[in-house]
Amino acid sequence: MTENNKISLIIPIYNEAQHLNRFLKIIDELKLEIPKELVFIDDKSTDTSLNILQLFPFKSEYKIIAQPQNCGKGAALRVGIQQASGNFIGIQDADFEYDPNDVPQIINLLVCDQADIVFGSRFKKNALQVHRTFHYMGNRFLTLLSNIFSGLYLTDMETCYKFFKSEIIKNINLESNRFGFEPEITAKIARLKVRVCEVPIMYYPRNYLEGKKITWKDGIAALRHILYFNLLKSKKNYFKSTLPASYIPKDRNLL
C-alpha cells in the first residue's frame, strides 16, 4: 500500500434532510485503512439538505458542490467524479439502504491491487438481507439483460456500490443524467481490459414514505439504456484519449 492512496466517496444528495445529520455522522466517522475524501453534490434539494451539509462539523476531508438546478443522480455523479482527488473513487448513497461498514472490504481489493473495479452485490449467496419483491425481480431481470448484451457476468448490475481506480472512471465519457448511470457504466467497462470483482454487501431497502426515489419509470429507462449503450451507440466515443493504454484490449480501437 503506497502512502498517497486515498478513496473519494461520491455522495449525491437530494432531499435527504430527515436523516442527513445521522448519515453524515456515520460516514464522517467511518474508519478506513486509507484516507478518505467525501464529495457531496447537492442536486438542488428543495428541503434543508444543503444547509445541513454546510453546517456539519466534518472531521474528514470534504467538498460540497451545489448544482444550480436539479439534473439527476447521473449528472451529479459526473460532477463529483471530476472533482474527486482520490486515486480510488466509490459511489455512496446518502441513505441507509447500504451499510458503509461494507466499504472497507470493497476498497481492500483495490488497495491490494486485486481488482480494478469492485461492485458490491446485494444478491450474492452470503448476502443476508430480505428484498422487496418488485424491486428484487426488476433488478435481477435488468442484470440478466445487461449480462447478455455486455458479456460481463454480474449478480447485481444496479447496485449503488461501484468502486473504481480513478484513472479508469475519470476517463470514461459519462452521459446518463438519472439512474441510467448503472447500465451505462457497466456497458462501458465491459469493453475494457479490467479486473472486475463483486463482493456481497448488506442491503436494507426503504420504501417511498422513507424517501426512496427510483420508480418503475426508471426501470423502463434502464432497459433502454442497456440496449442503447450495449447495442446501438457507437463505442468510439466511450472513452477519453487520456485513458491508460493498459486498459484497452489490443483488438479494439476504442479511442
Residue 255 lies in a domain: no
Q: Tell me, what amino acid is at 163? A: F
Residue 253 lies in a domain: no
pLDDT tens track for 161-175:
999 999 999 999 999
State the burial class of residue 251 (Cβ atoms within 10 Å of its Cβ: 0-12, 13-18, 19+).
exposed
Res 197: pLDDT? 97
Res 129: pLDDT? 58
Q: What's the structural domain count of the chain?
A: 1
Which residues are CB-neighbours of 220 under 8 A, at least 6 positions away? none
Q: Which residue has the higher pLDDT, 89 or 124?
A: 89
Task: Please report the DSSP string for 38-56 in residue order.
Answer: EEEEE---SSSHHHHHHHS
pLDDT tens track for 168-216:
999 999 999 987 999 999 999 999 999 999 999 998 875 544 445 567 6
Name the phi and psi angles at 59, rounded to 5.
-100, -25
Res 165: pLDDT? 98
Give me the mean pLDDT over the 151-161 stretch: 95
Structure letter (DSSP) for residue 172: B
What average pLDDT does the chain have? Answer: 90
Q: Which residue has the higher pLDDT, 204 or 255?
A: 204
Res 14: pLDDT? 96
Candidates 115, 239, 247; CA nearest to 188 is 239
pLDDT band at 12 (very low <50, low <70, confident <90, very high): very high
Residue 86 lies in a domain: yes
CATH code, 194 = 3.90.550.10
Candidates 206, 98, 213; CA nearest to 159 is 98
Res 216: pLDDT? 63
Residue 1 lies in a domain: no
Q: What is the domain range of residue 241?
A: 7-247
Tell me: pLDDT of 118 over 50. Answer: yes
Pairing outcome for strands 196-200 and 61-66: unpaired
Residue 134 lies in a domain: yes
CB atoms within 10 A of CB 79: 17
Res 90: pLDDT? 98
Which helix (H) or strand (E) segment holds residue 28: the answer is: helix 17-29
Residue 254 lies in a domain: no
* Structural contact between residues 161 and 200, judged by C-beta atoms closer than 8 angstroms: no
* Structural contact between residues 97 and 166, judged by C-beta atoms closer than 8 angstroms: no
Give me the mean pLDDT over the 228-245 stretch: 91
